[in-house]
């Protein structure tokens, strides 16, 4: 905290990891001797830059851009770009730090990075989005590349923004380096299944947790927060597996549909019309809209999938979920539960899938996109989805194994952190003091 004052989100992410690693350091003194904790929590590089652009009224606007290149011990930096007014150095660092362990868990050769800007895409025209994104890339391009650092999307950044960034990169650098971004459009190097990967992967992970306890999605009531990329495809897969998804949200409020959410309507409102989730009740008047997004956790459910943003489940929301009988929580978002909320879930035997493991499907398929780009071929949706399924099962099994091996059976927070850490730490030691 002294070294990184005011970086609350980063402190939170680091505390969770450090607490989990206590049994590893007790068993393996080599990590202490090599100063791994100090090295791994210091980014290799943190880039901050000015992003000037001109709005539709001809006024000059200035935002701040970030890229943290946290760790390249096992592969090129890999992690998304976030456009949201809340973005600051602490948020980018927490996301980049988590990404190191998540990427290691996937079993793919990718290091940890993350980037973004405090630019607010809400209400901006396509032209404004393009001019901002081009300006952002005009600085970022010099730090990224298919073997150096490979960004993708995150909050506020989808295929449209990735397309603009890729176009500007190509224009500056020349050539067609498809592997410099993932989450690209299908017509120019994108992978089938990438759009669905994070949401589907989260559901596959939770399915494994449930299976171990003789439970399943079939017939369960599910609540999914958010209505963005991760949420929509978590909802889709949960419905495919026979669940009834009764609520979802955006940053203004949530909808409750006791008959089960009509996903086609949500997709059209959010993906095509880019409108607010409150529009849903105009077409489905029997459904309810409530202002305030935190209220979604008061909706009784068997399975809760927080898929919106960090710290969206605090201790009060966790208490309500538990009182309403929640059996499993799977984090589609990054760090959506506070440390106190996680402790409460674990103390009450709620099955808990931490984001680092449960939402690793997105970056896994991003790594598959990089492989396809390198090989200059594209796999079918079924092929990618089967690989994703296999990866999520493996992440689950490795996390369970590490938790048991280090004295915390059933604790997937500890298991995922340890399983992700060991591979990176060993690679760092092998590469010397760098
Ligand atoms: P999107 O921008 O597509 O969607 C985000 C959703 O969450 C929107 O419904 C948004 O509502 C809501 N939201 C955003 N900020 C807040 C907030 N402060 N309070 C309440 N609701 C909010 O982003 P993604 O779906 O891509 O990302 C969601 C989460 O998943 C993030 O934590 C991200 O880091 C994580 N993640 C994403 C991956 C991916 O592949 N995209 C991979 C792994 C993790 P509104 O429209 O009102 O802003």
Q: Which atom of ligand 1 is nearest to the CA of 95?
A: 34
pLDDT at residue 1 is higher than 90: no
DSSP-derived 3-state class of residue 396: helix
- Give the pLDDT band of residue 189 (cuts 50, 70, 90): very high
Taking the model in full, what pTM does it have? Answer: 0.97
Fold agreement between 43-190 and 195-353: yes
Core vs surface per residue 139-162: b (16+ CB within 10 A) or e: bbbebbeeeebbbbbbbbbbbbbb
Give the residue-averaged pLDDT of 82-104.
98
- Give the pLDDT band of residue 2 (cuts 50, 70, 90): confident
pLDDT tens track for 23-54: 999 999 999 999 999 999 999 999 999 999 99
Q: Indicate which residue's Cα is closest to atom 29 of ligand 1.
A: 333
Q: Which is the catalytic residue, given 114, 170, 237, 387?
A: 114
- If you measure from the C-alpha of residue 304 to the centroid of ligand 1, how many angstroms do you get, rounded to a whole number? 16
DSSP assignment string, 290-342: EESGGGGGGS--SEEE--S-TT-B-HHHHHHHHHTT--EEE--SSS-B-HHHH
User: What is the SS3 string spanning 26-83?
Assistant: HHCCHHHHCCHHHHHCCCCEEEEEEEEEECCCCCEEEEEEEEEEEECCCCCEEEEEEE
Active site residue 102: no
Q: What's domain 43-190's architecture?
A: 3-Layer(aba) Sandwich (3.40)
- If you measure from the C-alpha of residue 82 to the centroid of ligand 1, how many angstroms do you get, rounded to a whole number? 9
User: In the chain, where are the structural domains located?
Assistant: 43-190, 195-353
- For the chain, state the CA radius of gyration: 21
* DSSP for residue 114: E
What share of the chain in percent tops pLDDT 90? 99
Rounded to the nearest integer, the mean pLDDT of the chain is 97
> What is the interface pTM, i.e. ipTM, of the complex?
0.98
Q: Which fold has domain 195-353?
A: Rossmann fold (3.40.50)
- Give the pLDDT band of residue 225 (cuts 50, 70, 90): very high
Q: Which atom of ligand 1 is nearest to the CA of 156?
A: 2
- If you measure from the C-alpha of residue 307 to the centroid of ligand 1, how many angstroms do you get, rounded to a whole number? 6
pLDDT tens track for 402-422: 999 999 999 999 999 999 999
- Give the pLDDT band of residue 331 (cuts 50, 70, 90): very high
What is the structure's pLDDT at 385?
Answer: 98
* DSSP for residue 191: P
Q: Indicate which residue's Cα is closest to atom 42 of ligand 1.
A: 362
pLDDT tens track for 348-371: 999 999 999 999 999 999 999 999
Q: Indicate which residue's Cα is closest to atom 43 of ligand 1.
A: 359
- If you measure from the C-alpha of residue 427 to the centroid of ligand 1, how many angstroms do you get, rounded to a whole number? 32
Q: Which long-range contacts (CB under 8 A, 24 or more apart) does 399-403 make?
A: 399/105, 399/357, 400/212
């Amino acid at each position: 905290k002294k070294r990184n004052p005011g970086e609350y989100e980063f402190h939170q992410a680091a505390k969770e990891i450090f607490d989990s690693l206590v049994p590893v350091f007790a068993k393996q003194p080599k990590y202490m001797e090599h100063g791994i904790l100090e090295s791994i929590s210091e980014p290799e590089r943190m880039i901050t830059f000015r992003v000037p652009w001109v709005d539709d009224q001809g006024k000059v606007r200035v935002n701040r851009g970030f890229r943290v290149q946290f760790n390249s011990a096992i592969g090129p930096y890999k992690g998304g770009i976030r456009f949201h007014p809340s973005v600051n150095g602490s948020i980018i660092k927490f996301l980049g730090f988590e990404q190191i362990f998540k990427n290691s868990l996937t079993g793919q050769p990718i290091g940890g990075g993350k980037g973004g800007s405090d630019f607010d895409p809400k209400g901006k025209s396509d032209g404004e989005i393009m001019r901002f994104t081009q300006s952002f890339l005009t600085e970022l391009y010099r730090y990224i590349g298919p073997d150096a650092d490979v960004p993708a999307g995150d909050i506020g950044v989808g295929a449209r923004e990735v397309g603009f960034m890729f176009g500007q990169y190509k224009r500056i650098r020349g050539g067609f380096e498809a592997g410099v971004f993932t989450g690209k459009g299908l017509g120019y190097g994108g992978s089938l299944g990438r759009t669905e990967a994070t949401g589907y992967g989260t559901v596959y992970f939770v399915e494994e947790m449930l299976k171990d306890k003789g439970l399943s999605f079939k017939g369960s009531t599910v609540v999914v927060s958010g209505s963005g990329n991760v949420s929509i495809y978590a909802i889709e897969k949960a419905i495919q597996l026979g669940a009834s998804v009764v609520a979802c949200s955006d940053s203004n409020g949530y909808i409750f549909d006791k008959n089960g959410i009509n996903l086609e309507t949500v997709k059209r409102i959010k993906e095509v019309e880019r409108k607010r989730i409150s529009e849903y009740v105009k077409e489905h008047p029997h459904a309810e809209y409530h202002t305030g997004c935190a209220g979604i956790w008061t909706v009784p459910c068997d399975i809760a999938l927080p898929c919106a943003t960090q710290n969206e489940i605090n201790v009060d929301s966790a208490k309500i979920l538990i009182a309403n009988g929640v059996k499993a929580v799977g984090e589609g978002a990054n760090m959506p539960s506070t440390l106190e909320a996680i402790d409460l879930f674990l103390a009450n035997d709620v099955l808990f899938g931490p984001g680092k493991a449960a939402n690793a499907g997105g970056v896994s398929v991003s790594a598959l996109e990089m492989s396809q780009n390198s090989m200059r071929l594209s796999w079918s949706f079924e092929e990618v989805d089967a690989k994703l399924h296999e990866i999520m099962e493996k992440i689950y099994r490795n996390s369970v194994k590490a938790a048991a091996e280090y004295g915390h059976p059933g604790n997937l927070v500890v298991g995922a952190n340890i399983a992700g850490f060991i591979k990176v730490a060993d690679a760092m030691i092998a590469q010397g003091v760098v």
